[in-house]
Amino acid sequence: MIRPAALLLAALAATSALAQETVPASATVDAARAQIEALAAEMDVDGDARITLDELQAAAGQIFPSIDADASDGLTRAEFLGWEFGLAEMAAFRGRTQGYEAAMGMVFDLFDRDGSQGIDAAEFEAAMVESHAYADLDGDAALSAAEFRSNFVVNVALRNALVPQEVLGARRP
C-alpha cells in the first residue's frame, strides 16, 4: 500500500538525519532524493532491490486513485499537478512552483496520449509500461533504485525542475 503522507514524513525524517552531516544548502536536494528513494523502496514489495513491471503496475494501481481527487476514473491536469505525493510543496518552498508545474505539465501531456486533456486508467497504465522500459538501462526487465531515481520519467522531470542535474545523475545518451 502506498501511503503518500507516511512516505513524506519518512523522507523528511531521513532528511533531518542527513542534514546534520551535510551543508544546509543540500537539504532540499536530499529531501527530493530521499522521497524518491522511499517510493522506490515502497514499490519493491519483495525487497529484492529490483522494481519489476508487476511491482510498478501494482503501485500505479494505488497511485492513480490517490491522484484522482474526484474519483472520476480520469486525471485532470489540475489533479496531476496537485497530487500530494508530488513535490509541489517542496517546489513552492524553493520558489520553483513555475518550474515544477511546467515539468509536471510536460509529463501530463506525455501521458495524455490522445490529447483529451485527461489521463484515463489505460493511458496511465501504458505510460507506466513505457516509462519502465525506458528507465531499464541494463535491460534486465527491472529497475534498480538508481535506474528508477535517475531515469524514470516523472523523476527526470522533477529533477529538472527542482534540483541540479549533477546531484541525482542523468541518463547517458
Under rule CB under 5 A, residue 136 binds Ca ion: yes
Going by C-alpha positions, the residue among 81, 89, 85 that lies closest to residue 60 is 85
Q: How far is the CB of 116 from Ca ion (least distance, A)?
A: 4
Q: Find the angle CA(157)-CA(57)-CA(74) to the nearest 5 degrees.
A: 70
> Using CA atoms, how far apart are residues 35 and 15, in angstroms rounded to an integer?
9
Nearer to Ca ion, 28 or 80 (CB): 80
Measured between alpha carbons, how far apart are the two ends of the chain, in Å? 35
The residues in 46-65 that bind Ca ion, with binding defined as CB under 5 A, are 46, 48, 50
Check: CB of residue 107 under 8 Å from CB of residue 154.
yes
Under rule CB under 5 A, residue 68 binds Ca ion: no
Q: Find the angle CA(26)-CA(156)-CA(126) to the nearest 5 degrees.
A: 145
**Residues 42, 68, 101, 112: which binds Ca ion (CB under 5 A)?**
112
Scanning 5-13, 31-39, 93-101, 147-155 for contacts with Ca ion by CB under 5 A, the matching segment is: 147-155
> Using CA atoms, how far apart are residues 88 and 98, in angstroms rounded to an integer?
10
The residues facing 119 across adjacent strands are 75
For 52, the 3-state DSSP assignment is strand
Scanning 36-44, 58-66, 98-106, 163-171 for contacts with Ca ion by CB under 5 A, the matching segment is: 36-44
Scanning 29-37, 45-53, 65-73, 154-162 for contacts with Ca ion by CB under 5 A, the matching segment is: 45-53
Scanning 8-16, 25-33, 56-64, 116-124 for contacts with Ca ion by CB under 5 A, the matching segment is: 116-124
Under rule CB under 5 A, residue 109 binds Ca ion: no
Q: Which residues bind Ca ion (CB under 5 A)?
A: 44, 46, 48, 50, 112, 114, 116, 118, 136, 138, 140, 147
